[in-house]
Structure 1
Amino acid sequence: MPLEAVAYPDLHDAARRVNEGFEKMDAQGVVEAALTEHGHVALVSSFGTESIVLLDMVSRVNQAAPVLFLETGMLFPETLDYQKDVALILGLTNVQIVRPAPEDLAAKDRFGRLHMANTDACCDIRKVLPLERAITPFDGWITGRKRSHGGQRAQLDLAEVEGHRIKFNPLAHWSGAELRQYMKDHGLPNHPLTAKGFQSVGCAPCTSATKPGEDPRAGRWRGSDKEECGIHFIDGKAVRQ
């Protein structure tokens, strides 16, 4: 059942109520509560291999809800095409393209090769800083993170407090099989790179296909101990690993 619309002065109390008020699989209910009961909230989406599930859920609540799409300048062409196709199919009318600042690129990655020397610094100027700017006017945001991704995501709650915002993770408890079944049940199109063995898709230089049995995110920054790009925050500060 959706939570009663109440203004919570304590964000930790608000997050607790979300975590206690929903069944683990009631992702649609979490999305509805986030968009209707917690102020100005945006979905941050990569338009990756699993993104369409949340995008579809958001569209069922409000097709004009803000969707922030981080266009790093290094995404696969297939992702850029997929973003346009999905927005059209779902009738999403408020997809906001978030790009790195030209002055940051000019100062730190003029030739587009920073990822070869320092992946953290590259993610910082192409993802972390642009999102920090874009998320400023919002009271909260919705992410597609899941416990099944493992690593730092293994203990995710449906809602977390991050600085002065609530971060909602409606799919925290969903498995890959459940995501695929949702897509099948609702006739949603796969990301084009799924057919080529990509279970998780980020920037082209730092993403590879995965082998059968590998972790879904094994193809991200393969060969390094890097697990996250850094767009997720702790106590209001970006995690720059």
Structure 2
Amino acid sequence: MRPVRHERALSPDLSVAALNARYEGAPAEDILHAGLRFWAGGIAVVSSFGADAAVLLHMAAGINPHVPVLFVDTKMLFPQTLEYQARLAADLGLTDVRRIGVARSELRRADPMGALHLRDADACCQLRKVAPLAQAMTLFQASITGRKRHQAATRADMAVFETDPAGRIRINPLAGWSAQDLADYRDRHDLPPHPLVAEGYPSLGCVPCTSRVQPGEDPRAGRWRGQSKTECGIHFGPKGAERIAQ
């Protein structure tokens, strides 16, 4: 269900199309500020605390350090990612990072040997990422992601504002940013990098499904290497197309 209360506060006809017409090409900070203002109290940032996460989280903390940040812990993340999450949240002063994940009782039932990813990677992502995030998002009317169009072909036509399958607004303030834009922002604000980036992991997910990327390879080549799978599926577009991997 769309956040009607906030739409009426701004405009009698605040549609996704109207939002995109208004904010396409706008500075990321303006887009983020608009989302946090329009859906105040009903919006969350979704973050993997991965290679590029610091940029969006730094922007969000500068506007409202108390905004809920949803971090999906699959129980298969790199230890360095968990350490980075704690450090970055503390450095930025984020006060409401919510570490969510599948219940251990459900893991024991659906993946008792921790090997589901070997026979069905999509089912593993559904169990460990998609379902927990969907449950957490029932408390919110809108979400904010750090996706960028340059990251993958599946994201090339991504809009700044979208409607997800549940009818919530999804906002992508960094949609138009390049890799250089991200690097410049990190340098300008002296943001700490994820420790595994320097070790050849420009895109990070779960340990079993993430490998090092060799020079000249696509930055996402290390995700589900050797499979046709390129996205985890935690954010789907209005027509069911996959849009994001965390």
Question: When the two structures are superposed, what TM-score results if normalisation uses the length of structure 2?
Answer: 0.90
2:20 is aligned to 19
2:148 is aligned to 146
Three-state SS of the structure 1 residue aligned to 2:29 is helix
Question: When the two structures are superposed, what TM-score results if normalisation uses the length of structure 1?
Answer: 0.91
Is the 8 Å Cα contact of residues 141 and 167 (structure 1) preserved in structure 2? yes
Three-state SS of the structure 1 residue aligned to 2:138 is coil
User: Per-residue deviation at 1:237?
Assistant: 7.0
User: Per-residue deviation at 1:218?
Assistant: 1.2
1:226 is aligned to 229
Distance between the aligned counterparts of 1:214 and 1:29, measured in 2?
A: 33
CA shift digits 1:140-171 (9 cap, x unpaired): 10011111012210111111111321100111
1:31 is aligned to 32
2:44 is aligned to 42
Residue 9 and residue 85 in structure 1: after superposition, are their counterparts in 2 closer, same or farther (change >3 A)?
A: same
Between 73-82 and 229-238, the greater mean CA deviation after superposition: 229-238
Structure 2: tracts of 5 or more residues without a match: 1-6
In structure 2, which of residues 127, 130, 135 is the aligned counterpart of residue 128 of structure 1?
130
% identity of equivalent residues: 47
Amino acid at match of 1:216: P
Corresponding pairs, count? 235
1:92 is aligned to 94
CA RMSD after TM alignment: 2.1
Distance between the aligned counterparts of 1:144 and 1:129, measured in 2?
A: 20
Structure 1: tracts of 5 or more residues without a match: none
2:229 aligned with 1:216, yes or no?
A: no
Is the 8 Å Cα contact of residues 143 and 168 (structure 1) preserved in structure 2? yes
2:89 aligned with 1:113, yes or no?
A: no
Between 184-193 and 229-238, the greater mean CA deviation after superposition: 229-238
Residue 9 and residue 42 in structure 1: after superposition, are their counterparts in 2 closer, same or farther (change >3 A)?
A: farther
Distance between the aligned counterparts of 1:8 and 1:215, measured in 2?
A: 42
1:201 is aligned to 204
2:63 aligned with 1:80, yes or no?
A: no
User: Per-residue deviation at 1:136?
Assistant: 0.5
Distance between the aligned counterparts of 1:137 and 1:8, measured in 2?
A: 24
User: Per-residue deviation at 1:215?
Assistant: 1.8
Distance between the aligned counterparts of 1:193 and 1:180, measured in 2?
A: 16
User: Per-residue deviation at 1:103?
Assistant: 2.9
Divergent runs of 4+, >4 A: 7-10, 235-240
User: Per-residue deviation at 1:18?
Assistant: 2.6
Is the 8 Å Cα contact of residues 154 and 242 (structure 2) preserved in structure 1? no
